[in-house]
Structure 1
Amino acid sequence: MENNDAIIQNQSSIIQSQAASLRTLENQVGQLANALSNRSQRSLPSDTENPRRDGKEHCKIITLQNGRQVDQPIRQPAKEAEPSSIQNQPGPQSETEAD
């Protein structure tokens, strides 16, 4: 008989613990719902984050799908020379221009 009472007491404490967890979850879901309803529609938040982390983060190793890692340094692309402006150069004149 005492064994059954201990089991019932244990089960009762487990149920109370689960009920407290459920109340906490309900509270959190309510807070999320309030936060979403207060958010303005069709606009970006004013505190957008820069995903580049101010340009200070760099990728050092790339892992491929087959598990192989590529850790060779990636060369920076060479800067292309600015295209020079086209200058008018004397060339063969057509017959209409010569007249």
Structure 2
Amino acid sequence: MSSVVAQVLPAHDCCNHSPHAQDAVGAHVATSTALAQARRDLQYAVIMGTDTHRRRQYALSARDEAATVLVAGDATAAQLRYARHYFRAAQQFAAAANRGVM
């Protein structure tokens, strides 16, 4: 499972710390922040090792953050692509943790 997540977690510059700023392609910071949170939570899910409860919790959080991006009206095509990858990976992690397969 970890190799799947490693493949869908490429580094990207999606954060801007000004509350009303827009990034270079015009997406609002809230969308960029949600995408960064999804990626971070997936990374934490990987780090949790055999703690299936915490892995599942991080995966569910990542899924929720990715869903936030997917329904955002200001998400760019690249952000939507990353969000779809993160959403799928989070679903897989949550399902595997639910079955105790980690």
Query: Which one has a bigger Cα radius of gyration?
Result: 1
- Greater share of strand residues, 1 or 2? 1
State if a TM-score over 0.5 links the two structures. Answer: no
TM-score (norm 2): 0.25
Structure of higher RCO (CA pairs closer than 8 Å, 6+ residues apart): 2
